[in-house]
Structure 1
Amino acid sequence: MSPEREEVQRRLFSAYKTFLKRDRVLLELDVNERSLTHKLAEYLQAEFTDWDVDCEYNRNGDIPKRLQVQTTVTDDTDAHTVFPDIIVHHRNTKKNLVVIEAKKTSSTRAVADTEKLKAFIAEYGYQFAFAVVFPVGPHASDANPSTDITEVMV
């Protein structure tokens, strides 16, 4: 049985608080986004012990899991393949619980994470989707799960 919305959010916030307690220095140093999502995923695995937690997972059973999204912010009209930053799921099944897209406050990515998250919900049936914005550099001291994590719904 899948956890309810409040339980999922509680676990995500708990993992983020652990990340801040143990690894805030990564935010201060403005390290690569993949380093940040990897550490957050480690703490999520401790919260979702009956689930698999993966970064940039690209499988849907035995076929690649990917979205074809089009940018709308720039003049680029080509589709780009994207993978979710972090997912909580059961591998080799269609049980997809949480999808997370993350970015740093210093990011200039053109494709809106909200649109990607909505597409992951629609195409792969994720029950919950969250955008995480990591405050980096001088803003690292402002990190807080209630302001850095936003649920996205279709």
Structure 2
Amino acid sequence: MQTELNKVVVALGDFYAREGFLFEKDVGERAVTHRFAVHLEKQFAGWSVDCNYDRLGERTLHLPHGTIISTDDHLGKSIYPDVAVHQREIPNNLLTVEIRKASNHTPLEHDEHKLRALTDPHVWFAYTIGVLLVLDKAGVVLADVYFGGGPDRALAAWFAKRLQDAGLAASA
């Protein structure tokens, strides 16, 4: 998993080197997410990198009945990862990334719940790894890693150190 997370670090480095305009003009999170995905795609040869991809093969990503995880559609059934690194046809889900701008003051719970659901091995569309990124113009404000349906503190600490070593962590 460190290999995949290192690729996220490289993509973030490229993103911050080339996309400062997005923060200067305070564009929306969807534009930030898309531009990050463009840089992430360069790191994952042989994989598809999509924003808001709502399919597993031919099926729409739906949550199991009775779930407490919040959803992204008005019917309360579908869930859309901000960025998905996957193989569309198989399906094979490797990495999902939820991105927030630091200026977004809504609670993090929605993204945290999404990552728990998206990485839960008991759910049929599980991603191997989930990453939560809170970004501002100075760098990554918060980074968390999800594995097996919950936060992985050891991987998150390792990832935070890699971001800091790469000069991508915003000063607190």
Per the shorter chain, which TM-score range? 0.7 to 0.9
Identity of aligned pairs, percent?
Answer: 28
The answer on whether the counterparts of 1:67 and 1:82 sit within 8 Å (CA) in structure 2 is yes
**Alpha-carbon distance in structure 2 between the residues aligned to 1:26 and 1:70:** 34
Say which SS state the counterpart of residue 42 (structure 2) adopts: helix
**Alpha-carbon distance in structure 2 between the residues aligned to 1:109 and 1:56:** 19
Cα pair distance change 1:117/1:71, threshold 3 Å: closer
What's the offset of the Cα at 1:70?
4.3
Cα pair distance change 1:101/1:66, threshold 3 Å: farther
Cα pair distance change 1:10/1:59, threshold 3 Å: same
The answer on whether the counterparts of 1:41 and 1:55 sit within 8 Å (CA) in structure 2 is yes
Find the partner of 1:25 among 21, 41, 48.
21
The answer on whether the counterparts of 1:70 and 1:79 sit within 8 Å (CA) in structure 2 is no
Larger RCO (CA within 8 A; separation ≥ 6): 1
Note the residue ranges of structure 1 that are not aligned, 5 or more in a row: 73-77
Counterpart residue type for residue 119 of structure 2 = I
Between Structure 1 and Structure 2, the one with more helix by share is 1
Say which SS state the counterpart of residue 83 (structure 1) adopts: coil
What's the offset of the Cα at 1:112?
2.8
Say which SS state the counterpart of residue 40 (structure 1) adopts: helix
Cα pair distance change 1:39/1:106, threshold 3 Å: same
* TM-score when normalising by structure 2: 0.72
Report the count of equivalent residues. 138
Residue 38 (1) aligns with residue 43 (2): no
The CA RMSD over aligned residues, in Å, is: 2.1
Find the partner of 2:118 among 120, 126, 140.
120
Report the equivalent of 2:5.
9
